[in-house]
Structure 1
Amino acid sequence: MISKSTLRTEMRARRRRLAVEAPDAALRAAANLPADWPGTPVATYGLYHPIGSELDPGAIRIAGARAALPVVVGRDAPLAFRLYSSGDALEPDALGILAPTSRAETVWPDVLFVPVLAFDGRGGRLGQGGGFYDRTIAALRARGPVWVVGVAYAGQEVGDLPLEPHDQRLDAILTEAGFRLIAAA
């Protein structure tokens, strides 16, 4: 089986190519989120600030819920989430990624949209390798139910990913080609 490191290199190149080929993919993906999903009340949902060729989740909305963005608070810590509305001030977090300021309210999202380098049909997710989202998803799931939705180009799907025990699975995937719930493995 291919190593995660090798797969990351290949998938970064693929994602860059897909971004050029489908510049409208982010808007099409957002339009694919069903209006009646998840069918339970959602107070807050977590998005992310896209880096490089990551699919931009900025157009994703869940009616009646508030959006939040992640904040890196430490290299080995889960991400924190702070409420964010378009136009709110942003500042660099501990890794230099733009995030809501410390004046924004910290929240625990009910739905978390996460960036993806690669995904498989069983909910496997390959990220950048820092473990931030795995730690964050584990912490959120320890608090209670949370929906974790990968946001990706459809062309980022691969066969079975080489997962380790700490790797957290997706509950659904949102792409420019559609929205898919993933059955528990």
Structure 2
Amino acid sequence: MTVTGRSQAAPRRPDANAFRSALSRFATGVVVVTGLTGADARPVGLTVNSFTSVSLDPPLVSFCAGRTSRTWPVLRDSERICVNILGARQEATSRALARSGPDKFAGVPWSHSPSGQPVLDGSIAWLECSVEAEHPAGDHHIVVARAHLLATADGDGPLLYHRSTYGRFVPTPTPAPPT
């Protein structure tokens, strides 16, 4: 079977590995959801690649957090969280905050948003949000969050994730219109 000149595997039912393999062919951006925890206001965060806009009015976004995540329950209870959209040079930050462990922020530079949430240095945009809703969905939670504050930065393009590999967006130059 061919589609636009490319060979295609025979159709099959989606077991976990086949499903993951198929979805890995969809390039996504990478965000880190951050917040503060404990009396000492320690930063916590988790890397997410299932992030999307939901609504302009009101300003809503969504992301998915794994049901087994130990970080999401901590963030869920925060009054505010910060969604950091990572730039192309932030692969190490993404990897650091994707791992398990108590001190994921070791060596990760950040500053405070106006209300004190962790904004990761080098992020190309951030949104300070409150959780509006959470919906169970298989082995994940779908989280809907309302943006209250945001900021953007010029320069770096987005960090992308495709087929279990990090990459960057390289724009194709737009040809000049004919004269």
Q: Who wins on radius of gyration, i.e. which is larger?
A: 2
What is the TM-score of this pair, normalised by structure 1?
A: 0.26
Higher share in helix? 1
What is the TM-score of this pair, normalised by structure 2?
A: 0.27
Higher share in strand? 2
